[in-house]
């Protein structure tokens, strides 16, 4: 969504060429661009096939630890030659590289571009360091290794760009500490304007996101083990609904509870969230800012979040959400909202107003100068 907002901004001002990666077996991304941001030319780079079973993943990550290369940096490396061939003879006013993982391609893109921009969706070193705190044993050790490796690469790559975009003021401070003197600016995460969904609330709490993303896995595990049992017992008709792709990544954590439901991939997360009485964001790790919170605000729904879940956004406890950083307080906050329809409505209204005033694409574009 962050990449899409930048692309549409650029498409309104420039002729745009796009270099995009594709996972094996995925649809041709060249066919998926919306008419409003249709590129002039598209280069599709196919990522190599690799096995996704736990043993294969563990072996790959052990090799990456030995080389001190973060997983996604390793996944997206090795395409310098086709990128150089595509760029040969071209000149650009601005080149935007999405994600820290692809930052090394500055070597191919800078020579043909007047201005280079790195769009950081997260601070990758911070993300790995926080993920280390949610795991034990080998996984925690691996995240510590990858955090140090990412920090070294951030210190090397960030200063090579003319401009670095961060998702929040907090991330901007971290980026400047990692690479003093780097030219940074905040470009907030946002979603396209959507009308507030109509319809009745279900007797449900909802969590949304890519369920294979490590911070989301840890959040689901935390809520299932530490919070859901108390909420489930107090509210015997309540359903916990998980909205998003890759439900198989967390299904084992949920032990076949019949009151836990999966939506699978959805076309409109805002509509799905609007059907729940309460949106939960029990994140223990992460970086950047959370689209799940923006979507909940757009849906006009009351939210309970950890501090990390609301990080980087103008979240105000008791004003546009409730913040709870331990399991007992989180469960109490969920029950409070389920009990108090007036409080649910007030938090939903203030969240929706904040979305409309600050977090639509049109509002975010006002802070972008490319």
pLDDT digits (tens, 9 = 90+) for 17-44: 999 999 988 999 988 888 878 899 999 9
End-to-end Cα separation, the chain, in angstroms:
18
DSSP letter string, 283-348: -SS--S--HHHHHHHHHT-EEEE-TGGGTTS---BTTTBEE--SHHHHHHHHHHHHH-HHHHHHHH
- CATH code assigned at 103: 3.40.50.2000
Based on the domain organization, do 68 and 176 belong to the same domain? yes
Per-residue pLDDT tens digits for 280-338: 999 999 888 999 999 999 999 999 999 999 999 999 999 999 999 999 999 999 999 99
Q: For residue 267, is it within any domain?
A: yes
In the three-class reduction of DSSP (H, G, I as helix; E, B as strand; rest coil), residue 278 is classed as strand
Based on the domain organization, do 222 and 311 belong to the same domain? yes
CA dist 184 → 117, 119, 206, 291, 361 (Å): 10, 10, 35, 21, 20
Confidence of residue 261 (pLDDT cuts 50, 70, 90): very high
Q: Is 237 exposed, middle or buried (0-12, 13-18, 19+ CB in 10 A)?
A: exposed
Q: For residue 295, is it within any domain?
A: yes
> Taking 90 as the threshold, does the pLDDT of residue 241 lie above it?
yes
Confidence of residue 200 (pLDDT cuts 50, 70, 90): confident
Based on the domain organization, do 175 and 209 belong to the same domain? no
Which residues are CB-contacts of 319 (< 8 A; sequence separation ≥ 6)? 347, 350
Q: For residue 191, is it within any domain?
A: no
Based on the domain organization, do 223 and 335 belong to the same domain? yes
Confidence of residue 256 (pLDDT cuts 50, 70, 90): confident
Based on the domain organization, do 255 and 179 belong to the same domain? no
Among 243, 302, 290, which residue's Cα sits nearest to residue 268? 243
Q: For residue 214, is it within any domain?
A: yes
Q: For residue 192, is it within any domain?
A: no
Based on the domain organization, do 165 and 220 belong to the same domain? no
**Which of 153, 186, 219 is at the close of a domain?**
186
Confidence of residue 130 (pLDDT cuts 50, 70, 90): very high
Residue 135, pLDDT score: 87
The tokens describing 74, both together, are 């390793």
The whole-angstrom separation of Cα 128 and Cα 149 is: 10
Instruction: Give kind and range of the element (H or E) at residue 164.
Output: strand 163-166
Based on the domain organization, do 259 and 334 belong to the same domain? yes
User: Percent of the chain beyond pLDDT 90?
Assistant: 89
Q: For residue 224, is it within any domain?
A: yes
Based on the domain organization, do 234 and 166 belong to the same domain? no
Based on the domain organization, do 11 and 155 belong to the same domain? yes
Based on the domain organization, do 15 and 160 belong to the same domain? yes
Q: For residue 172, is it within any domain?
A: yes
The whole-angstrom separation of Cα 369 and Cα 357 is: 19
Half-sphere exposure in the Cβ direction for 293 (13 Å, CA): 30
> Taking 90 as the threshold, does the pLDDT of residue 271 lie above it?
yes
> Taking 90 as the threshold, does the pLDDT of residue 66 lie above it?
yes
Based on the domain organization, do 311 and 166 belong to the same domain? no
Domain containing residue 339: 204-360
Q: For residue 194, is it within any domain?
A: no
In the three-class reduction of DSSP (H, G, I as helix; E, B as strand; rest coil), residue 121 is classed as coil
Based on the domain organization, do 182 and 217 belong to the same domain? no
The whole-angstrom separation of Cα 310 and Cα 303 is: 10
**Which of 186, 218, 252 is at the close of a domain?**
186
Residue 199, pLDDT score: 81
Residue 278, pLDDT score: 98
Total number of domains in the chain: 2
Average pLDDT, the chain: 95
User: Percent of the chain beyond pLDDT 70?
Assistant: 100
**Which of 137, 156, 186 is at the close of a domain?**
186
């Amino acid at each position: 969504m962050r990449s899409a907002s930048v692309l549409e901004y650029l498409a309104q001002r420039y002729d745009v060429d796009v270099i995009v990666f594709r996972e094996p077996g995925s649809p041709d991304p060249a066919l998926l661009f919306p008419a409003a941001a249709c590129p002039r030319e598209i280069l599709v780079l196919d990522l190599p096939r690799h096995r996704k079973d736990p043993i294969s993943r563990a072996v790959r990550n052990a090799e990456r630890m030995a080389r001190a290369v973060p997983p996604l940096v390793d996944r997206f490396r090795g395409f310098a030659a086709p990128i150089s061939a595509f760029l040969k003879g071209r000149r650009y006013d601005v080149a935007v590289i999405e994600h820290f993982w692809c930052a090394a391609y500055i070597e191919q893109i800078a020579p043909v571009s007047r201005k280079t921009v790195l769009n950081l969706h997260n601070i990758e070193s911070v993300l790995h360091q926080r993920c280390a705190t949610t795991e034990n044993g080998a996984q925690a050790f691996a995240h510590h290794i990858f955090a140090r490796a990412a920090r070294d690469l951030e210190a090397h790559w960030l200063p090579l760009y003319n401009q670095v975009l961060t998702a929040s003021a907090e991330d901007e401070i971290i980026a400047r500490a990692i690479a003093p003197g780097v030219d940074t600016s905040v470009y907030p995460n946002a979603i396209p304007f959507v009308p507030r969904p109509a319809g009745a609330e279900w007797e449900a709490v909802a969590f949304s996101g890519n369920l294979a993303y490590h911070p989301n896995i840890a959040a689901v595990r935390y809520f299932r083990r530490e919070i859901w049992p108390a909420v489930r017992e107090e509210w015997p008709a309540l359903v916990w609904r998980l909205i998003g792709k890759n439900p198989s990544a967390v299904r084992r954590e949920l032990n076949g509870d019949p009151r836990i439901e999966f939506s699978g991939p959805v076309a409109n997360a805002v509509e799905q969230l609007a059907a729940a009485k309460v949106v939960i964001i029990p994140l223990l790790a992460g970086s950047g800012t959370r689209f799940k919170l923006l979507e909940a605000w757009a849906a006009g729904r009351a939210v309970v979040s950890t501090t990390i879940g609301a990080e980087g956004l103008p979240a105000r406890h008791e004003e546009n959400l409730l913040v709870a950083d331990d399991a007992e307080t989180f469960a109490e906050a969920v029950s409070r909202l389920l009990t108090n329809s007036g409080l649910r409505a007030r938090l939903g209204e203030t969240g929706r107003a904040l979305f409309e005033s600050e977090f639509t694409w049109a509002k975010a574009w006002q802070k972008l100068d490319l």
